[in-house]
Structure 1
Amino acid sequence: MCLFYAFCVIIINSALYKAKVDKAKAQLKKDEAQEAKAQRDVERLKPLYEQNAASQLDLDNAIAAYESAQANVAMSQADLAQAELELDYTTVRSPFSGRISERNADIGTLLGPNGKSLLATVVKSDTVLVDFSMTALDYLRSQQRNVRLGEQDTTRSWQPNVTITLADNSVYPFTGLVDFAEPQVDPKTGTFSVRAELPNPKQQLLPGQFTKVKLLLDIQENAVVVPRKAVSIEKGGAYIWVMRSDETVEKRFIELGSELDNRIVVERGLGKKDIIVTEGYHKLSPGIKVHPIKAESKKNISNSEGKKQ
């Protein structure tokens, strides 16, 4: 058995179908010979008819015989094509490269409408399909971010990649893309099916395996990000302490975005060049003058003091 595209997997007894092909070829040669003879008869009778040496009936019969021979050739060609197609069906080929996980037919097994129809199960191993579900809320969020699941946008600098986590909580080193999304939501579960394709060159993933899926829906380029500890929240909203050019501080309310790894995206209220206070801000009040120290410098000072001790 072969496991690659266009190579045989199972061969069915083909003796009967080979005989049908040979018979169709012989019939085609016979009909082609009859066609050639009928054509010669027409070519001989035409000049005789023009010289009144043959009747109109003789010429009409010759032309009819020639056209009938042409039709017989066309029928024989169709019969031969059908016989060759049936012969080709006796060789079962795998539509893709992979591994045979289960064989359902052995030598001598009866195949066909009255026998087995499932011959073998071939598993594609160089790539795997990951099926997972998303909620209607997830779909709305993807639409808000102009992400159409199952479609790639070449104008975007990034694509909605899929990463998976294995059973040992390690992250699979290859990412994939969503190639299909169900166009309707299941009313029973409130979810819809999504499928992603991932490369599997080392056969690290097996069909039927359970994984954790993470789908990238948005990348905020050139976003303003601040440490989580620098943000304070009160009844009026979230705010942060910002140092002005005269080294005085102000309490500035901001609009927060997504959060990841103790860092928060500031959607509104803070510029890229603004200097913020990350520590000791609980001692501040609006307008007070401060002496700024960069976070890296403070860390270096602490390390130096530790070495002196």
Structure 2
Amino acid sequence: ALIAPGSDNLLTTLYVVDPIWVNFSVSESDILKIKKEVQAKKLDWPKNMNFQVEAILSDGTVIPAEGYIDFANPALQQSTGTMLIRAILPNPKLQIYPGQFVRVIVKGATRPNAILVPQSAVQQGQQGIFVYVIQGGKAAVRPVTAGDWYQNNWIIEEGLAAGDIVIVEGVNKVQNHSPVTIQHLIPAPRSSP
């Protein structure tokens, strides 16, 4: 006999690949930051904690099907200081394999009244992070506190208000108090399919 009764030898392993489980961790510092933002009303959870999860392969391929979180360990792992979370993603094309590493994007939380500024408009100087705004037809340095990135934008936490006009093009040519001309960008018409 190859295996005797009571033996711990493994004959085979079975995997479910569609849907597939994607396990990921969130650091304790990120958990605390998120908790503070929720308490300060800077971040809103989705109804029924219904988060969607998107996977990105190591080559940058985004898996178009969105999964959902089905488990979050209530305890932090002491060895890593992280919370284990599990998502279930549809995998009909078998793009994700067991044991494969992917990045995840968790969607569903919103930032009410968030101010987004293109990354190219946010500058770093001797006094810290700033943007140029237009005041009275002239450029003015405005110190800001930048938070997280969202796509190609910074989330500005402090320093800007709704209605402020931020210079987003030609920032490298701008100097404090220099006159500027506002040009409104008109989107190009869409071509017919």
Do both share a fold (TM > 0.5)?
Answer: yes
Question: How many residue pairs end up in the alignment?
Answer: 174
Q: What does residue 115 of structure 2 align with? A: 224
C-alpha distance in structure 2 between counterparts of 1:123 and 1:280, whole Å: 53
RMSD over equivalenced CA pairs, Å = 3.6
C-alpha distance in structure 1 between counterparts of 2:74 and 2:164, whole Å: 45
Contact 1:176-1:197 at 8 Å conserved across structures: yes
Equivalent position amino acid for 1:213 in 2: R
Contact 1:164-1:211 at 8 Å conserved across structures: no
Contact 1:241-1:281 at 8 Å conserved across structures: no
C-alpha distance in structure 1 between counterparts of 2:53 and 2:15, whole Å: 22
Q: 1:283 to 1:169 in 2, by over 3 A?
A: closer
Secondary structure at the residue paired with 1:275? coil
Contact 2:139-2:179 at 8 Å conserved across structures: yes
The yes-or-no answer on 1:154 pairing with 2:47 is yes
The yes-or-no answer on 1:193 pairing with 2:91 is no
C-alpha distance in structure 2 between counterparts of 1:260 and 1:253, whole Å: 20
Q: What does residue 184 of structure 1 align with? A: 75
Once the two structures are TM-superposed, the CA of residue 231 in structure 1 deviates from its matched residue by 2.4
User: Matches of residues 35-184 of structure 1 in structure 2 within 5 Å?
Assistant: 123-146=15-38, 153-154=46-47, 159-166=50-57, 168-184=59-75
Q: What does residue 292 of structure 1 align with? A: 182
Once the two structures are TM-superposed, the CA of residue 283 in structure 1 deviates from its matched residue by 4.5
Equivalent position amino acid for 1:138 in 2: D
The answer to which structure has the higher helix fraction is 1
Contact 1:127-1:197 at 8 Å conserved across structures: yes
Q: What does residue 154 of structure 2 align with? A: 264
Once the two structures are TM-superposed, the CA of residue 226 in structure 1 deviates from its matched residue by 1.8
Unaligned runs of 5+ in 2: 40-44, 189-193
Unaligned runs of 5+ in 1: 1-112, 301-309
Contact 1:167-1:210 at 8 Å conserved across structures: no
TM-score by length of 1: 0.46
C-alpha distance in structure 2 between counterparts of 1:166 and 1:242, whole Å: 38
C-alpha distance in structure 2 between counterparts of 1:261 and 1:170, whole Å: 15
Structure possessing the higher radius of gyration over alpha carbons = 1
Deviations 1:157-199 (A, max 9, x none): xx43222233654222212122112222222233332211112
Once the two structures are TM-superposed, the CA of residue 256 in structure 1 deviates from its matched residue by 1.6
C-alpha distance in structure 2 between counterparts of 1:146 and 1:274, whole Å: 26
**% of aligned pairs identical?**
27
TM-score by length of 2: 0.67
C-alpha distance in structure 1 between counterparts of 2:95 and 2:157, whole Å: 41
C-alpha distance in structure 2 between counterparts of 1:126 and 1:283, whole Å: 53
